[in-house]
Amino acid sequence: MPQDTKGLMRLFTVICFWLTLTASSYGAAHDEALPLHDGKLRIHDLNGVLCRELGLPSCPAGGEVDLNSPGGSDFLSAINAVLWNGCSLQAQGPVAAILHLDEGNVVSKFEAIRRISRVYAAERTPAATAAQARNWGLLWPRQIDATKPLVVLIHGLDSDRSDCMPIGDLLQQSGHQVAYFSYPGDQAIEDSALLFGRSLRATHARFPTMPIDVVAHSMGGLVAREYLEGPDYSGGVRHLIMVAPPNAGSAWARLRVLLSVQENYHLRQFDPNWNWTWMITEGMGEAGADLLPGSDFLQKLNSRPRCPGVVYTIVAGNKSSAKRVQGNIVENVSSWIPKHARTLWGFRNCYASLTKSADRLHNETGASDGPVTLESARLPGVTDYVILPADHVSLYLPVDGHPPAAWPVIQDRLN
């Protein structure tokens, strides 16, 4: 990544932490003139003024931005959004830019800071950004029969279409035609829903009589709902099947950074185009914030009615993912005892105790699938609500040689 991009990332990181801790009230409002060089703003100049005026430690940053380019317009918009009514930056002819500062009105705009980081990283690494974008959108089957329904599969938070492949294979073996929708798993859910809406509208325009069924795992259900229940829905969907949807949010969303690291480690291993900027341009945790119980996004989404004409099904699990992992660990420990020793006194009791504990952990049920509680999965107006003895992962993915637990329900509803 170029040095100027790295420097700007450091600057925005410092501002980000500062804004989440305090809303300042320094001096009176005033303007600062920043010189332009052939219409380009040097990041070092902007950096120095912001750090000085906001009382931040100096963050070295190089590079420059052409304020007359499309990227420069995005840059100005994002800068102005970052500090809201506490700061504005405008080009003043070809030789200067005016930075208006009113620190007394600075408010926390954490989302805007993340947005500008994405915009700038994408602009500075266009090849890597384009390669990443090829993974997103709707992947159609090679041949489409417009007389048959199309089943669209959607993955969850910090995942990709590979998580949908096992269900997709089972659907294809059952005679269904399948498409896969992928999106930047860390960006705001509203942005993912916009991409989903464009994809479905294009499909509906090309095949206006072809019914579309949507099967979504976890956060993918919220992506689908945001489009289907929003003002831009254009029709064509007959059934929405949500597997483990966090309709009322999930406290586990605070751990989303672990999923992001895991996803990018996987991509780094298997995608030769992977660039570390992908961790920025796919989103910087906006989706995790949207998933927190009581978030602004969830309040707006859940204030809407269900989409008329669409049949809803919800499949929820009552086993904890953590319990399954713990059970596997205990089971592995029990396997350390040699088979010939399991009948001997002492070893026999130890083996029986470990086996019993592993079975209890594997079979224990409760009020959640781990990340999503049964109550969070519920949705007013949806009566087709199925609870299965499975956790968040095993509901949708094969585990220990068993097919996804939700597969029989999905097959039944689609048929």
pLDDT digits (tens, 9 = 90+) for 188-244: 899 999 999 999 999 999 999 999 999 999 999 999 999 999 999 999 999 999 999
Q: Could you report how far apart the first and last alpha carbons of the chain are, in Å?
A: 50
Provide the pLDDT confidence category of residue 26 given band limits of 50, 70 and 90: very low
Residue 150: which of 137, 160, 140 has the closest Cα?
140
Mean pLDDT rounded to a whole number for the chain: 80
Tens of pLDDT along 151-176?
999 999 878 899 999 999 999 999 99
Residue 268 has pLDDT above 90, yes or no: no
- Laid out side by side, the sheet with 177-182 consists of 137-139, 177-182, 150-154, 212-217, 237-243, 311-317, 385-388
pLDDT at residue 358 in the model: 67
pLDDT at residue 29 in the model: 73
Tens of pLDDT along 319-351?
876 666 666 776 776 777 788 777 777 777 787
pLDDT at residue 22 in the model: 39
Three-state secondary structure readout of the chain: CCHHHHHHHHHHHHHHHHHHHCCCCCCCCEEEEEEEECCEEEHHHHHHHHHHHCCCCCCCCCCEEECCCHHHHHHHHHHHHHCHHHEEEEEECCCEEEEEECHHHCCCCHHHHHHHHHHHHHHHCHHHHHHHHCCCEEECCCCCCCCCCEEEEECCCCCCHHHHHHHHHHHHHCCCEEEEEECCCCCCHHHHHHHHHHHHHHHHHHCCCCCEEEEEECCHHHHHHHHHCCCCCCCCEEEEEEECCCCCCCHHHHHHHHHHHHHHHHHHHHCCCCCCCHHHHCCCCHHHHHHCCCCHHHHHHCCCCCCCCCEEEEEEECCCHHHHHHHHHHHHHHHCCCHHHCCCCCHHHHHHHHHHHHHHHHHCCCCECCCCEHHHHCCCCCCCEEEECCCCCCCCCCECCECCCCHHHHHHHHC
Contact between 290 and 221 under an 8 Å Cβ cutoff? The reply is: no
- Stretch 302-312: mean pLDDT: 97
Q: Count other Cβ atoms within 10 Å, centred on residue 278.
A: 24
Most confident of 58-67, 110-119, 259-268: 58-67
- CATH architecture of the domain covering 134-247+283-320+367-414: 3-Layer(aba) Sandwich (3.40)
Contact between 152 and 179 under an 8 Å Cβ cutoff? The reply is: yes
Provide the pLDDT confidence category of residue 24 given band limits of 50, 70 and 90: very low
pLDDT at residue 4 in the model: 45
Contact between 15 and 70 under an 8 Å Cβ cutoff? The reply is: no
- The identity of residue 375, as a single letter, is E
% the chain with pLDDT above 90: 41
pLDDT at residue 3 in the model: 45
Residue 211 main-chain phi, psi, to 5 deg: -65, 145
Residue 18 has pLDDT above 50, yes or no: no
The pTM of the full predicted model, rounded to 2 decimals, is 0.69
- Stretch 303-311: mean pLDDT: 96
**Residue 16 is encoded by which pair of tokens?**
């980000």
> Does residue 164 or residue 289 have the better pLDDT?
164
pLDDT at residue 1 in the model: 41
Residue 258 has pLDDT above 60, yes or no: no
Angle among Cα 154, 160, 163 to the nearest 5 degrees reads: 75
> Does residue 55 or residue 203 have the better pLDDT?
203
pLDDT at residue 187 in the model: 86
Beta bridge partners of 203: none
pLDDT at residue 14 in the model: 46
pLDDT at residue 237 in the model: 96
pLDDT at residue 133 in the model: 78
pLDDT at residue 240 in the model: 98
- Stretch 69-86: mean pLDDT: 64
**Residue 97 is encoded by which pair of tokens?**
């830019």
pLDDT at residue 259 in the model: 56
Measured distance CA(395)–CA(392) in Å, rounded: 6
Non-local CB neighbours of 37 within 8 Å, separated by 6+ positions: 64
Residue 380 has pLDDT above 70, yes or no: yes
Residue 303 has pLDDT above 50, yes or no: yes
Domain ranges in the chain are 3-125, 134-247+283-320+367-414, 322-363
% the chain with pLDDT above 70: 70
Residue 52 has pLDDT above 60, yes or no: yes
